[in-house]
Structure formats: C-alpha cells, structure tokens
Amino acid sequence: MKGLKWLATASAFALTVCAVPALADVKIEDIVNDAATTNDVVSNGLGPQGQRYSTLEAINKDNVANLVPAWAMSLGGEKMRGQETQPLVRDGVMYITGSYSRMWAIDVKTGHEIWQYDHRLPEGILPCCDVINRGAAIYGDKVIFGTLDAKLVALNAKTGKVVWTKEIDDFKAGYSYTAAPLIVPTKAHGPLLLTGVSGGEFGVVGRVEGRKVDTGELVWSRPTIEGHMGTLNGKPSTMTGDKVNATWPGDLWKTGGGATWLGGTYDPDTGLAFFGAGNPGPWNSHMRPGDNKWSCARIAIDPEDGSIKWGYQTTPNDGWDFDGVNEVVSFDADGKKLAATADRNGFFYVLDRTNGAFQAAYPFVSKITWAKEIGKDGRPVYVDDNRPGDPKAGKDGKKGATVFAVPSFLGGKNWMPMAYSQQTKLFYVPSNEWGMDIWNEPVAYKKGAAYLGAGFTIKPIFDDHIGSLKAIDPLTGKIVWEAKNKAPLWGGVLTTASGLVFYGTPEGEFKALDATNGKELFSFNTGSGIVGSPITWEQDGEQMVSIVSGWGGAVPLWGGEVAKTVANLNQGGMVWTFKLPKKMAAN
Ligand code: CA
Ligand code: CA
C-alpha cells in the first residue's frame, strides 16, 4: 500500500500550498438550469438535456485561432490509458475523473491539484472496453462517480474524503460503472442520483436506479429487460414489459443484458429521464427470436417511482451489438418537444419526447447493410441475408455463416456525445464509417464469462478516413457538412452561440470548426489522443475551454484491423485549459 500512502501525503501537501476557493453547495436548480448559467458546468452534457451548447460568445470565429493554453495538468503515475471524462467546474474548482477510477479537484486559476482520490480496485475487475470513466455528478458538497468494481463513491468536494460508498452489484459477475451519474429533482424523494450498470457482454441485468444523493440509499430500481421486477422503497413495484416471454423465449431474459452503461439525460419540460439500453444477451440473435424488449432501446423513466413512461426500440432482435445506449438530446422545433439520438446502428432518430412517438430516422453513415431503411412505423426494414447466420444451420453446428456488416459493432456512433446548436439548429455528430465480418457461435451463460456467441473483425470501408464529424439537420436528415478524420472519432463535441464546434481526435488534435460550414479555425496538438468531451465556461470575465487528452477506449482493444492502424498513437493523461490572451479577449 506504499503507493496509496504516498498519494495521501502528496494530496495533503497540495492542500497546504494552494488556497482552496470557497465552495457554495450546488442546488438542484443549479443542475436543472446549468445550460443557462455560463459561470459553471455542474452536469454532464452542459445541462441535463445534453445539448452541449454554450451561449458564450467571447471566443468566436475571428479569434479562436489565437487560443493558448492557460495551464495543463498531468493525471500522472503509471495509470495512463483512455481518458473519456467531461470536466465539471464550480466556484473556481474543476472536477475530473480519470482512468482506473480516479478523481481530482483542480484550481482552475492555476491548474494546481487540490486533491486526488484513487479508488482501490480489487483483482479481477471485468471492464469490457478499457479502464475508463466518463465523469462525475455534483450536488450539495459532494461529487459522485462510478467505479470499475461497480461501486458509487461520494466524495466531499472540498477535501476529496469519502462520504459514502454503495455497491451497484457484483463485479465478479461482470458489473462495472463508468458513466457520469445524473441528478434529477423529484417531489416525492428530493433530488435523486440516477445511474445504470455496465456489463452488457456478461449477461448482466440492465437497469436504472434512483438513490438519495446524501446517503446513496436506493429508492427505486427499474430493470430494462421484460420479465424483471422493479423495486420502490424497498418493495417490489412493477414488472418491466407486458408479460414474461412476450418478446423473449424461455429463460433467456434472465441474463438478457440491456445494460444502461452510458447513463442518461433529463428533460425538465416533461420531467422524464431518458436512458438507453444496450445489446441483448447473447449476441447470437437466433437464440432469442422476438423483439427482446427493451434491449437496444431508449426508455423514458418517471424519476418519481422508476416507471417506464415510454420506450422506443432502435434495433429489435439485435444481431450486431448495436447497443441502444446513445444519448437522447432534447430540442424544440416546429412547436414540438422533440428529442434526437444517433444510434450505433447508423440511423439518426427524431422522437416526440413527450410520448416517444417516432418522427423520422435518417442514415448518417454510408453503406449500411443490415437494414434497408427505418419504416414509417419506426421499425427497421431488415435485409435478412445480411444478418449473421444461425450456427445450427451450419455444417457442424459450431459456426454460422459470416456476413460483412456496416456499421461495425463499435457503431456509426458510439458513446461519444453529440452537440446541438440552438443557433444553427444543427446536430454535430461524431461518427465512424467502418464495417465488420461477424459470425455466430453457440454459447451458454456462465457467471463472469463473456456471453457473446459471436466472433468479429472490424475493417475500414474507406482508404482515407473512418472518423467523420457530421452536421445534421434534424428536420430533414440532410448532412450539411462533414469533417473527415483518418482515425475513428471517440470523443465528445461542444458547440457555442458564437458558431463554433469543438472536438478532439485520436491523433491528438483539439480542434474548433466553423459550425456553419465545418471549416477548421483552430487546432492544437495535446500530445496524446483525445477521447474526452470538451467544456466551456466563464471564469472572472474570461471564456475558458477545457479538454482532457489521453488515448484509449474500445478502439485499440476491439478494433480488429482498425486497431492496427492506431497502434502507434501514444497514451497519456492531461487536462488542458485554453483561453484567449488577455489583450485580445478585451477587444
Ligand atoms: Ca452552468
Ligand atoms: Ca454491447
């Protein structure tokens, strides 16, 4: 335990040399109104609706090329690897999470560490897709995040000391948690902390849970898969779905997956929390004829009691690992309360967020093989020949027919969040153009073992690029512009009222583009690949922009032939903060 002791000493030293800014408790109104307040970022998504849109305009198309680093801080140690976090900022303090379930508080004026928390991880954790973390939540005097051994940890924001810890589930069964928790208001219970589970490749029980923020006490639980019983105030509440086996055969629903591994967004207009559910288990779709609800779906949950108000399935009877977890972003257009979500399966969906009614779906990547289109009823029109074959139909029953599928299972878009501009009325979607060979194999559930029944190899489909940041008009599906990138994009997007789009690339560049035409206006080499999400806020009259750099995530681990092309990208762990030189900002 030498290492931990040393860290404790280092943190104490940091406390004595930094003047710690005064922290006011974060109130639920601060979270609900986060998008409108430019002096802080107290939610994932720069507002619970997840638009990642800032009204700040000091950094604009004319001056963004002059951005310079204000400071950078290393996440240090031997624990580099993918840094997929989005920073939070409150009262002059930045909170970031990092690889291996770590968190920091940083003085935003100097970049000096205030405290560091290292979660003690046990042997045998089972993270599917790198040892990443996607961010924290903040409320009252606490910052809260999930860990690779499936715990939730609440720290005192001033000291970094643990206030409470709760176990989500057994990490030995494949559970972990990496998404930023979501804090929402309720009438019945006060503010609740909403979280999901990771572990969709291990046959876990996908679910969303609501907890008291101050104590971590469980208030309700809502499983995503039909047949499982929810809980409310310690008692069984209602079953998910209409009846057992309505859309699942036999007992497969019991290990049916539907992991809620990307967390959720919240819409104050409807009072609904939107979560996505991942792939059904196992991947081999021939074992589970039926729609397999609510796998590969978006569900709208009433935070008062954990009931499902509506569900919309993007890929019924998924056979390609098209997890339906991607973020649901609320926006208003045509006098309607809408929501958009860009799916792993390559289609961009627009729904009525009050009731989940399907409005439209458009392909946002090219050469999609698995479906011809999304029909007017909102269901995919499958290309049956392009579904990986049934192993039982094969010669020896051990391997079904291989198909080449586009998108690959890592998706037309994966976890990396898109942004919506209230100014241009466009969505900025970090997408990837790639395919895969995929085939099915027999499989049986075994606790803690991968539950796939499939094999795969990801391949590029274009010579010059995989990544593609796209500006999409949600009312027509038109791709207004596209910025290609050689490596797959794996980080989030931010847009501003001054007409800028910020994002990072695996090659390490932090970029700003013109939101109207995609023209590059700024690029800075951060020294390692970027897979995190940028933020902007106003500090003492100056607009700041931050991004965490550090290459990793699922692509180097699962990318097949694509992984070879990015094998030379260097790992890292550095938070960078930019601003304009003082003179220029004053003009
Ligand atoms: Ca704010
Ligand atoms: Ca999955």
Residue 308 CA to residue 273 CA, distance in Å, equals 10
Q: What is the pLDDT of residues 183-240, one digit of tens each?
A: 999 999 999 999 999 999 999 999 999 999 999 999 999 999 999 999 999 999 999 9
- Residue 519 φ/ψ, nearest 5 degrees: -65, 135
pLDDT at position 198 is 97
Q: Indicate the SS3 state at residue 203.
A: coil
For residue 537, give the nearest of 160, 22, 47, 21 by alpha carbon.
47
Q: Taking residues 440-450, report their average pLDDT.
A: 96
pLDDT tens digit sequence for 330-339: 999 999 999 9
Q: What was the pLDDT predicted at 4?
A: 41
pLDDT above 90 for 252: yes
From the CA of 282, how far away is ligand 2's center (Å)?
A: 10
Under the banding of pLDDT at 50, 70 and 90, the label for residue 3 is very low
Residue type, 477: G
Neighbouring CB atoms inside 10 A of 483's CB total: 22
CA separation for the pair 251, 48 (Å, rounded):
37
Q: What is the mean pLDDT of residues 446-460?
A: 96
Q: Which ligand is nearest to the CA of 90?
A: 1
Residue 149: partners with Cβ closer than 8 Å, 6 or more residues away: 101, 119, 121, 122, 125, 171, 176
Instruction: Yes or no: say if 531 and 416 are a contact pair by the CB < 8 Å rule.
Output: yes
Contact 308, 222 (CB under 8 A): yes
- How far, in Å, from the CA of 43 to the mean position of ligand 1? 8
The answer to whether residue 22 scores a pLDDT higher than 80 is no
List pLDDT tens digits, range 28-76: 999 999 999 999 999 999 999 999 999 999 999 999 999 999 999 999 8
Read off the pLDDT of each residue in 106-111 and give the average, rounded to a whole number. Answer: 97
Q: What is the DSSP string of 170-198?
A: -GGGT-B--SPPEEE--TTTSSEEEE--B
Q: How confident is the model at residue 23 (pLDDT cuts 50, 70, 90)?
A: confident
Which range, of 17-21, 123-127, 141-145, 374-378, averages the lowest pLDDT?
Answer: 17-21
How do residues 346-401 score in pLDDT, each as one tens digit?
A: 999 999 999 999 999 999 999 999 999 999 999 999 999 999 999 999 788 899 99
State residue 587's pLDDT score. 54
Indicate whether 273 pLDDT > 60.
Answer: yes
Q: How far is the CA of 341 from the centre of ligand 2 (A)?
A: 17
In the predicted structure, residue 7 carries a pLDDT above the cut 50? no
pLDDT band with cut points at 50, 70 and 90 for residue 404: very high
The number of the ligand nearest the C-alpha atom of 321 reads: 2
CA 117 to each of CA 7, 114, 164, 343, 516: distance values in angstroms, whole numbers, following the listed order? 9, 10, 14, 34, 41
Full-model pTM: 0.95
- Catalytic annotation on 321? yes
State the chain's maximal CA–CA distance in angstroms. Answer: 74
Distance CA 198, CA 489 (A): 22
441-to-208, 284, 411, 451 alpha-carbon distances in Å:
30, 7, 21, 11
Q: How many Å apart are CA 5 and CA 197, to the nearest integer? A: 31
In the reported structure, the alpha carbon of residue 291 is separated from the centroid of ligand 1 by a whole-number distance in angstroms of: 40
Residues present in the chain in total: 587
Confidence of residue 19 (pLDDT cuts 50, 70, 90): low
Rounded to the nearest whole angstrom, what is the distance from the C-alpha of residue 279 to the centroid of ligand 2? Answer: 5
Please state the separation of Cα 417 from the chain's center in Å.
6
Round to whole Å and give the CA distance between 568 and 574.
Answer: 18
SS percent in the chain: helix, strand, coil, step 5: 10, 35, 50
Helices (H), 18-151: 28-32
pLDDT band at 585 (very low <50, low <70, confident <90, very high): low
What is residue 12's predicted lDDT score, i.e. its pLDDT? 41
Q: Which ligand is nearest to the CA of 35?
A: 1
Instruction: Please state, rounded to an integer, the average pLDDT across all residues of the chain.
Output: 95
Q: How far is the CA of 104 from the centre of ligand 1 (A)?
A: 20
* CA–CA distance, 71 with 86 (Å, rounded to integer): 17
CA 454 – ligand 2 centroid, Å? 12
The strand pair at 297-302 and 307-313 is best described as antiparallel
Class of the domain covering 2-586: mainly beta
Give the Cα separation of 319 and 157 in Å (integer).
43
* Tokens coding 204: 């876990």
pLDDT exceeds cutoff 50 at 5: no
Does residue 99 carry a pLDDT above 90? yes
| In the predicted structure, residue 80 carries a pLDDT above the cut 90 | no
Q: pLDDT category, 456, cuts 50, 70, 90?
A: very high
Distance between Cα 31 and ligand 1 center (Å): 7
User: Which ligand minimizes its atom distance to the CA of 47?
Assistant: 1
Mean of pLDDT values over 100-119: 97
**Which ligand has the shortest distance to the CA of 536?**
1
Angstrom distance (rounded) from CA 97 to CA 21: 20
Q: How confident is the model at residue 135 (pLDDT cuts 50, 70, 90)?
A: very high
Which of 30, 321, 323, 343 is catalytic? The answer is 321
Q: How confident is the model at residue 10 (pLDDT cuts 50, 70, 90)?
A: very low
Report CA(324)–ligand 2 centroid distance (Å).
Answer: 9
Using a CB cutoff of 5 Å, list residues around ligand 2, an ion: 200, 278-279, 321, 323
- Residues of the chain with pLDDT > 70, as a percent, come to 96
pLDDT for the residue 395: 82
